[in-house]
Amino acid sequence: MKNFEQSVEKAVADGVVLGAVVCAKGKVNYSKVFGNRTLKPQAEQMERDTVFVLASMTKLMTSIAVLQLVERGAVKLDDDVAPLLPVLAKQPILTGFGEDSTPITKERTGPITLRHLLTHSVGGTYEFANGDVLQWRKIQGLLGKPAVTVEEAFGHPLLYEPGESWCYGTGSDWAGKVVEALSGLSLEDYMKEHIWSPLGIKDITFWPAARPDMANRMCSMSIRDTRSGKAVQSRKPIEMAPGAQEAFGGQGAYATMGDYTEILNSLMVDDERLLKKATTAAMFRPQLTGDSRQALNEAMAHPEWAVGYYPPGTYNWGLGGLLVEGKTESWRKPGTLLWGGAINSAWFIDRVTGVCGAFGCNLLPSADPQIELLMKGFEEDIYGKAAADRPKTRL
């Protein structure tokens, strides 16, 4: 680990990052803290129990919640769940804009399924990721207005018929609403009862302000200063969903990297504390075909928008994250599941190699190239250690 640790320590010393926490489990059990979690009003060191913004790392937990309900027979992956999502269900397909900027739409004809929601093939995306959605929200007078519910934030038209293409987006947030509708619980209470408690973890929540013990351990948000290039602590809090009145299943949770890694490890070792073996296996199988798979690989051919390390290769989407489908130029084995969060944190699970891990860092803007080099170094060293510990074959 020395080269990786030296790289992060140098990054802290050079002001590239204020601090970070990394954890790995499986064939390599490792955790390390670097730098500071906050600098003002006074410097406080990063700790193993520092709490980070998960952002899109939340999506994996929402996928687990959905799949648990599928296991219990409450719903099927390919059921039409539109009746449970009235705001999304009534949204048409946005096909363009007229000369007077009037949106041109057509009626959606196909179903909306949980498989569509979990694999980003439902047609709903974020305004920052698509100019047409941005323009539609601008025309509606919605830009700059805090959205306190999933419906307010993402109740805009779809970009294509569900299942006919792929765009990274809001499906997990809507899937969280399905979990609430079917379980009768808030997403926080559902995850606490069915995901966090079974693993004995307590430092994950959608509402850190209601947990003083966690709020006091939050990692400060930092931003990359455009002039100096250094990471500086933000002068004011930056929230993923400011003013939110309900849990956003695609981006709203906070956690320590240690507790989050326990979730990764449960899926990797297949201990059935969260999901049955057959369900976990399905998470790690390709879900996209045809135009959807092609659209994903076109997006990943230029992965600068995505947080993490994504070398050239063939990708798909599982029921929880990006899936390495074919050989890439990296050490990851086909079947590896991984993804990141907008605040420059990331996770991976490689069940073939037997390693999983999480990299925690609160810094904007997203997909910071310097942080992604550290993420790459973290994975590289974990895999190197796993290979070094492999039993030698005797002739």
Q: What is the pLDDT of residue 395?
A: 42
CATH topology of domain 2-59+203-388: Beta-lactamase (3.40.710)
Q: Strands, DSSP E only, in the chain? A: 19-26, 30-38, 44-45, 51-53, 93-97, 103-106, 204-205, 222-224, 231-233, 254-256, 315-317, 322-324, 337-341, 345-350, 355-360, 363-364
Per the confidence metrics, is the pTM higher than 0.85? yes
Distance of alpha carbon 264 from alpha carbon 115, whole angstroms = 21
Q: Which residues of 248-259 are buried (b: 16+ CB within 10 A; e: fewer)?
A: bbbbbbbbbbbb
* Cβ proximity of 282 and 319 under 8 Å: yes
| Residue boundaries of the structural domains of the chain | 2-59+203-388, 67-183
pLDDT < 50: residue spans in the chain: 393-395
**Residue among 126, 160, 168, 309 flagged as catalytic:** 168
Instruction: Please choose, from the candidates 299, 195, 286, 253, the residue with its C-alpha nearest in 3D space to the C-alpha of residue 59.
Output: 253
Q: Which residues contact 197 (CB under 8 A, 6 or more apart)?
A: none
- Residue type at position 167: C
∠ CA 77-79-80, nearest 5°, is 130
Residue with tokens 């909306």: 112
Coil/strand/helix, residue 45: strand
Residue 53 tokens, joined: 């913004």
pLDDT of residue 393: 46
Task: Let me know if 56 is a catalytic residue.
Answer: yes
**Distances in Å between the alpha carbon of 221 and those of 17, 39, 146, 238, 253?**
11, 10, 19, 7, 15
Half-sphere exposure of 219 (CA within 13 A, CB side): 35
**Angstrom distance (rounded) from CA 65 to CA 88:** 20
Tokens representing residue 114 in the block: 């949980």
Look up residue 113 and give its DSSP letter: B
The question of whether 101 is a catalytic residue gets the answer no
Radius of gyration of the chain (CA): 21
The residue annotated as part of the active site, out of 7, 27, 30, 59, is 59
Active-site option among 7, 56, 183, 222: 56
Alpha carbons within 13 angstroms on the beta-carbon side of residue 337 total 24
- pLDDT tens, position by position, 153-189: 999 999 999 999 999 999 999 999 999 999 999 999 9
| 309 flagged as catalytic | no
